[in-house]
Structure 1
Amino acid sequence: MHLLVAVSHHGLGHLAQAAPLLDRLRQLKPDLRFTMYSALPRAALAARIAPPFDHIAQAADCGMAMHDALRVDRVASLACYREFHRDWPQRVAQEAARLVDLAVDAVLSDVAYLPLAAAQSLGQRSAALCSLNWADIVQAYLGDAPEMAAPLTQMRMAYRGADLFLRLEPAMPMTDLANAVSVPPVAGRGRSRRGELRARLNLPSNQRLVLLGMGGIGYACDLAVWPRTRGITWLAPGAWCRGHPDCIAFDKLDWPFLDLLAGVDALVTKPGYGSFVEAVLHAVPVLYLDRPDWPEAPCLKAWLHAQGRALRIEEAELNGLNLLEKLNELWGLPARPAPPADGVEQAATHLLTWLA
C-alpha cells in the first residue's frame, strides 16, 4: 500500500508527531510504502523516520510565515495564502493528478489540507493527525481580512472531509470537526545515555547539561555575551554558541536528538508540541519563552504545567545569570514521573483500521 504523508514544514513539531507513528505503522504493516511530501530537508526527515521512503521536497501548505520563533509575520502569511488559494479548483486538480501519477492509495497529513482536498476529489481515503489545524490558526491571525473568507471555507472543508482527524493531546479544541478522534500524546522516545553523553563531551559525571533550542524556527541568541557558569554546560545551535567556552553546538554532535534530550537536566525552548511533549515524556524540566498570541499555546502550557516541571521566562531573562536563577528555581520544583505514553499505539490502531 502506497501512503502519501504530507508534513507541514512550520518548525519540527509536525514531524515530531508524525515520525513515531509512521515507524510504528511500518512495524505493524511492513508492506507500507511512504512518500513524504514536505519542504523539510530530507536529512531532517531521515533523522526521525526509518528508511526507506520517497520524498517530494515541496511545501504542501503555507503554515505561518515567521519573523522568528516567537513572532508571526502576518503580512507575509496573508500574501502566501492569497497566492495559495488564488485558483483553488485548479490547484486541487493539479494535486489530484500528482496522486494519480504516483499511484497513491491513501493520504495521511500532519496537517496540510491541500493533499486532503485532492484525495477527496478522487474519492480516495484521507486522514489527518495533529494538535491543531491551519484553519484555526489562520482564523486567529488573518480572519479579519475579507479575502480570507473563501480560503478559510476551503480549508475547513478539506479537514471536515477527511475520513478521520486524530486530535493529538494536548490539542486545540477543534469542536467543529465531527471526524475528530482524541488520542493521548504522540512522541518519539530516546534512550537515557547520561553517563555516555558526558563521557562523549569529556565532562564530569555531575556536570549539568542544559539544552537550548526553539524547535527548528530561527531565533537570535548570542551566548558570547553570557558569563561563564560553573557546573553547567549549554547545548545550543552552533550559531548561538559563538565561541562561548561552556557551549557545545548540538547540531555538530553525531548523537540522536531524542537520546540527547533524554540525557540533559533541562530544556529551554518556546511553546511547541514536539518540545513540550518530548520533554515531559522524558521527565526533563522546561523553561520556556511564551508565545502569548499563538492560539495553540494555552493548551500546551496547561498540559505542560499539569504533567511536568516548568517555568515561564521573559526574553530579558535569556542570559547566563538570570537564566541560572530560573534554572535553580526550576530544579527546586518537586520531581514528577513521566506520564504514560501510549498515544502512538492508540493512533496506530486507529490508522490501521482506517487503512483496512
Structure 2
Amino acid sequence: MLIYAAISGHGYGHGSRSGAILLALAQRQPGWRLVLSTSLPAVFLRTVFGVVPFELRPCSWDVGVVQADALGADPAATHLALNDLERRLPDQIAEEARWLKAQGGPVLLLGDVPPALARLAQAGGWPLIWVGNFGWDAIYEPMGGPFLAWAERCRALYRTGQGLIHCPFSMPMDWGLPEIRVGLTVAPPRERAEVLRQQLELPERGRCVLVSFGGLGFELGEEPFRRWPELVFVSTDPSAAGAVNVRLLPKGLRLLEFMPLVERLITKPGYSSFCEALAHDVGIHLVHREGFAEAPVLEEALRRHGRHRLLSQEQLRCGDWQLDQPLLAAAVGPLALDGAEKAAGWLEQQALAYC
C-alpha cells in the first residue's frame, strides 16, 4: 500500500499534523510506503518523522495565504500566487499521475488540505481522504472580492473526496463526506525531558517559557526577554540569543520535545502548537492575529479547552507578556489525547476498503 500525502506548504502545522497521523499509521502498518508530496523543507520533515522512512516528492499544491510575517497576511500577493499556481498545476498533476501509476500497486491519497489533490485523484481514479480543521474555502470566502470564486472552486474539489478526518478547532467543512471526528493529533516525544533540561541548563518547569511563532518566525530582539529576568525562555528567535535568560531551540529538535519542560507558551494561533501544548497541559499566551479567518476560531477554541491569556501584538513587542499573572481556566475542559491514533486507525480502514 502506498499512502501519497499531499501536505500544504503554507505552514509547518500541516506537516506536524499529518506527520503525527502518519507516524501512528506506521506503527499499525510498518510495511506501507509513505510518500510526502509537499513544498515543506526536507530537514523539517526529517525532524518530524525521525527514524520512520518516507519518500519525498517536492511539489507545491496550494498557496494558502501569503504572509508578510508570522502575524500578518498579504491578500494581493496571495491572489497573484494563486493565479501562478493554477498555471503550473496541470504539468505537475500529469507528472505525479505518471509516477504513481508506475509504482504498480494500490494507492490512497491523503490531503492536508490542498484542494488541487482532487484533480490528481480524478486523473488516476485513486481514493482521496482529507485531513484538517479547515479547508481553503473557509479561508478565502471572508476575504471577499476575487477570492469568492476561489472559495467556490476549492469547495467543489473538496466535495469529490471519499472521506474526511475532522480535526478539532475546526471551521465549517460542509463537504458532504463521510467523516470521523478526532481529538488532539500529537506525536509522542522522542527525547528524554531530563536530558534536554540538563543540556540547556533549564530550571524547574514553573520558571520555563517556550516562545515560538512558526516557520516564518517573529523577531523580538533581546529587550522583551530582559523584562523577565526570573524566567528562562526556550525560543526559536535568533535575534534574542544575546539575552542571558534565552536558550535557542537546538537544531533538529521539535518544539514538542520541550512541552514537558515548560509551564507556558507564547505563540500565535496555530493548530499544531495548540495540540502539542494542550496535550502537555501547557498554558498558552496567545498573540492576536489579523487577516486569517482561522485565527478567531482558534482563539475561541483556546478559551474553551486550554489554560490561557490573550495578548495584543503591541504587548508582544514591548514584553508585556503577563507571565506574572495566573492563567485563565478553560471554559469547557480538555480534549481527547488520542486523535492521531484514532485518525490512523480510520485511515487504515479506508485504505483497506478502497484499495
- After TM superposition, the score normalised by the length of structure 1 is 0.88
Q: Counterpart in 1 of 2:65?
A: 64
- Give, in whole Å, the separation in 2 of the partners of 1:196 and 1:34: 31
Alignment of 1:214-229 (within 5 A): 214-224=213-223, 226-229=225-228
Report what 2:113 is aligned to: 111
> Relative to structure 1, is the Cα distance of residues 330 and 38 closer, same or farther in structure 2, using a 3 angstrom cutoff?
farther
Aligned residue in 2 for 1:73: 74
Q: Determine whether 1:302 maps to 2:306.
A: no
Q: Which secondary structure state, in structure 2, belongs to the residue aligned with residue 166 of structure 1? A: strand
Write the mapping of 1:309-348 to structure 2, written as runs, cut at 5 A.
Answer: 309-319=307-317, 322-323=320-321, 326-331=322-327, 339-348=335-344
Tell whether 2:211 aligns with 1:212. yes
Structure 2 Cα separation of the partners of residues 271 and 14 of structure 1: 13
- Separation of aligned partners in 2, 1:334 and 1:167: 22
What whole-Å deviation, never above 9, does each CA across 1:139-161 have from its counterpart, x for those lacking one?
222x4117x62x44442232111
Amino acid at match of 2:117: P
Q: Tell whether the 8 Å contact from 2:225 to 2:245 is kept in structure 1 after alignment.
A: no
Structure 2 equivalent of residue 289 of structure 1: 287
Contact map agreement 1:283 1:336 (CA 8 A) in 2: no
Rounded to whole Å, the distance in 2 between the matches of 1:111 and 1:332 is 32
Quick check: 1:162–1:179 contact (8 Å CA) kept in 2? no
| Structure 2 portions without partners, runs of 5+ | none
Q: What displacement does 1:31 show?
A: 1.6
Post-superposition offset of 1:216: 1.6
Distance 1:85 1:177, change over 3 A: farther
One-letter identity of the residue aligned with 2:57: I
Aligned residue number for residue 160 of structure 2: 161
How far the C-alpha of 1:338 sits from its partner, in A, is: 5.4
Distance 1:88 1:57, change over 3 A: closer
- Per mean C-alpha deviation after superposition, the further-off stretch among 16-25 and 235-244 is 235-244
Q: Is the 8 A contact 1:192 1:263 kept in 2?
A: no
Classify the secondary structure of the residue corresponding to 2:320: helix
The answer to whether the 8 Å contact 1:135/1:156 transfers is yes
| CA–CA separation in structure 1 for the residues paired with 2:83 and 2:120 | 19
1:120 corresponds to which residue?
A: 122
Q: Distance in 2 between matches of 1:131 and 1:340?
A: 15
Give the 3 Å change call, closer, same or farther, for CA 71–319 of structure 1 in structure 2. closer
- 8 A Cα contact 1:233 1:246, kept in partner: yes
Residue type of the partner of 1:231? E
1:4-153 equivalent positions in 2, closer than 5 A: 4-49=4-49, 50-86=51-87, 92-103=93-104, 105-141=107-143, 143-145=144-146, 149=149, 151-153=150-152
Whether contact under 8 Å (1:282, 1:338) holds in the other structure is no
Other-structure match for 2:275: 277
Q: Give the structure 1 partner of residue 196 of structure 2.
A: 197
Q: For structure 1, which segment, 118-127 or 311-320, has the greater mean C-alpha deviation from structure 2 after superposition?
A: 311-320
Identity of paired residues, percent?
27
TM alignment of 1:172-187, pairs within 5 A: 172-187=171-186
**For the structure 1 residues 204 and 295, does the alpha-carbon distance in structure 2 shift closer, same or farther, using more than 3 Å as the test?**
closer
Deviation digits for residues 91-144 of structure 1, max 9, x if unmatched?
Answer: 644443343245571211111122232112321111110111122212222x41
Contact 2:3 2:35 in 1 (8 A): yes
The answer to whether the 8 A contact 1:111-1:133 is kept is: yes
- Pairs aligned (count): 350
Aligned counterparts of 1:66 and 1:182: Cα–Cα separation in 2: 29
Code of the residue aligned with 1:123 in structure 2: it is: G
Distance in structure 2 (CA, Å) of the matches to 1:64 and 1:267: 24
**Equivalent-residue separation in structure 1 for 2:267 and 2:236 (angstroms):** 12
Q: Is the 8 A contact 1:189 1:278 kept in 2?
A: no
- Following TM superposition, by how much is the alpha carbon of 1:60 offset from its aligned partner in structure 2, in angstroms? 2.0
> How far has the Cα of 1:299 moved from its partner?
2.6
Query: What value does the CA root-mean-square deviation take over the aligned residues?
Result: 2.7
Q: Is the 1:212–1:236 Cα contact (8 Å) retained in structure 2?
A: yes
Task: Check 1:81–1:334 CA distance in 2 against 1; reply closer, same or farther (3 A cut).
Answer: closer
User: Who is 1:266 aligned against?
Assistant: 264
Could you tell me how far apart the structure 2 residues matched to 1:321 and 1:84 are? 39
Asked whether the equivalents of residues 170 and 185 of structure 1 are also in contact (C-alpha less than 8 Å), the reply is: no
Task: Pick closer, same or farther for the CA change 1:225–1:317 going to 2, 3 Å.
Answer: closer
Q: How does 1:233-248 map to 2 (within 5 A)?
A: 233-248=232-247
Contact 1:38 1:59 (8 Å CA) reproduced: yes
